[in-house]
Structure 1
Amino acid sequence: MTQTGSDAVHRAAAAGYMANADSYVRGRPDYPPELAGWLTGALGLEPGASVVDLGAGTGKFTPRLVDTGASVIAVEPVDSMRGKLATALPNVRALKGTAQALPLDDASVDAVVCAQSFHWFASRDALSEIHRVLKPGGRLGLVWNLRDARVPWVARLDEIVNRHEGDTPRYYTGAWRSAFPHPGFGPLKETHFSLGHTGSPEDVIVHRVRSTSFVAALPEDARERIDAELRALIESEPELRGKKAVTVPYETAAFIAIKESA
């Protein structure tokens, strides 16, 4: 069993998610219902199977894994987020660990799922560690929700956010793909679903941006300026202004790689 460690956690994740777990819970979108079929079909999750929710955060994705009937182990390095998961999902085994140091035995699980997390640790070391804990034929699933920037006001929203990203790993850059191909894994297979995140503008826009790691890690005055920009955007857009509920369009991208048998 490999010992856990925290040195591999990016500073934006460690600072931002510890500081703003509440906005993460309030502002993050859910996942499309079609993903349930992908979990049971492509990933093979069912009663009797075991799955790791790696980088589980506050457990936003974890109930989807529980619903498959599989035995779920949540692994999350940030204490405040793991604490919220443990409170919300007391029947899920929640462990402290990183992708490079999983607190699990060799060939002990049928699947590892990284929802909104793989870009943080996309590396050969992480994939080698995931490969170690998967059984032969085990499956790695990667899932991300991404705002649909083909909509003009969403592109303006992304512009406000992206100027603050610095060196923070992000899904949209595609840099995470450089970890593949990786010895012992077959090729990535990709599927896409559409999703709408509906709620008050304060929740689905302001708190969603506040939940972004590198925004949450900024000084208070900088976060307040971003809040002001977001509210100005809401007031300037007829689709958003004065609405009690709005829908932010998303696309969900899902990937699978299978551990090859020796």
Structure 2
Amino acid sequence: MSQPIHDAAQRGYTLAPDSYQRGRPEYPQALGGWLGAVLGVRQGAQVVDLGAGTGKFTQLLARTGATVTAVEPVDAMRAKLAESLPGVRTLAGTAEAMPLPDAEADVLICAQAFHWFANAQALREMHRVLKPGGRLGMVWNVRDESCDWVAAITDIITPYEGDAPRYYTGQWKRPFEGQSLFAPLQLTEFPHSHEGSFEQVVIDRIASVSFIAALPETERQVVEAKLRALQPRFAALREPRIAFPYVTQAWQAERLA
């Protein structure tokens, strides 16, 4: 039985699909080589994009020539994906209950998503859907907090996170401990930058964070005001075009027989 979607994800992503589409960064060009060489995402491969959201990562997968199936539980996000990528099969489903047959996929990948459903039941379901020897991939664009103004943004939003699962805690790794479904995780990192206006790379980006989007309107306005107050403090945020630094962390594990 599928576990319920966390309230911050259900409410936040239902309310903010447009902010998500505008504000979330794309992925570094070098990641394309990793997808092909390490995961085997290529022409003819059967690939499942789990927790596909509005399709930002799905479109990268589709460009490889692979046959891509997008699985997304939140209706508003899935509708945005289907609108922007009408040629991709898009299904309603969760990590714990994917509407797919056994051994369907050569590759199953989760972009910006695995921490939401990091549990043993989901890992068993991914093992079921993957072919023996198939690859599980997990990708996150992680804000580079060695930059002073990025750290200041984190300081503003962290008090609002509540019990929402977060990548930075590392709790998402727990289902892999002591299991025999997947080989040990392996990490590859890529420097990345999201370039655009302050409105796009800061305001829209933070508005798309699940637990921020799920706040009452008055509290969202408080968060936005705090973000705008950073511009006088940091010269980089007053430039017409801002480069928001990220590190893209790409994890993979082989599905064991």
What is aligned with 2:224?
Answer: 227
SS at match of 1:130: helix
For the pair 1:185 / 2:162, whether they are aligned, the reply is no
Give the drift of 1:235.
Answer: 2.4
For the pair 1:138 / 2:147, whether they are aligned, the reply is no
TM-score, with length taken from structure 1: 0.96
CA deviation map 1:18-49 (0-9, x unaligned): 00111000100110000000000100111111
Write the distance in 1 (CA, Å) between the matches of 2:185 and 2:47: 19
Task: Please tell me whether the aligned partners of residues 216 and 223 of structure 1 are also in contact (alpha carbons under 8 angstroms).
Answer: yes
SS at match of 2:124: helix
Which portions of structure 1, spanning 4 or more consecutive aligned residues, are displaced by more than 6 angstroms? none
Give the drift of 1:179.
Answer: 1.3
Alignment length (residue pairs): 256
What is aligned with 1:254?
Answer: 250
Q: How many percent of aligned residue pairs carry the same amino acid?
A: 54
Give the drift of 1:67.
Answer: 1.6
Give the drift of 1:134.
Answer: 0.5
Write the distance in 2 (CA, Å) between the matches of 1:88 and 1:141: 23
What is aligned with 1:9?
Answer: 5
Give the drift of 1:153.
Answer: 1.1
SS at match of 2:167: coil
Write the distance in 2 (CA, Å) between the matches of 1:65 and 1:8: 27
For the pair 1:55 / 2:85, whether they are aligned, the reply is no
For the pair 1:216 / 2:213, whether they are aligned, the reply is yes
Q: Which runs of 5+ in 2 are unaligned?
A: none
Give the drift of 1:150.
Answer: 0.6
Q: Which runs of 5+ in 1 are unaligned?
A: none
Task: Please tell me whether the aligned partners of residues 8 and 100 of structure 1 are also in contact (alpha carbons under 8 angstroms).
Answer: no
User: What letter is aligned with 2:227?
Assistant: L
Write the distance in 2 (CA, Å) between the matches of 1:184 and 1:83: 33
What is aligned with 2:124?
Answer: 128
User: What letter is aligned with 1:178?
Assistant: R
Write the distance in 2 (CA, Å) between the matches of 1:45 and 1:212: 28
For the pair 1:25 / 2:37, whether they are aligned, the reply is no
CA RMSD of aligned residues (A): 1.0
Q: State which of 193, 196, 209 in structure 2 corresponds to 1:196.
A: 193
Greater fraction of residues in helix:
2
User: What letter is aligned with 1:257?
Assistant: A
CA deviation map 1:99-153 (0-9, x unaligned): 0000000111111000000000001110000000100001000000011001111
Write the distance in 2 (CA, Å) between the matches of 1:31 and 1:120: 20
Alignment of 1:25-174 (within 5 A): 25-174=21-170
Give the drift of 1:8.
Answer: 2.3
Write the distance in 1 (CA, Å) between the matches of 2:180 and 2:254: 11
TM-score, with length taken from structure 2: 0.98
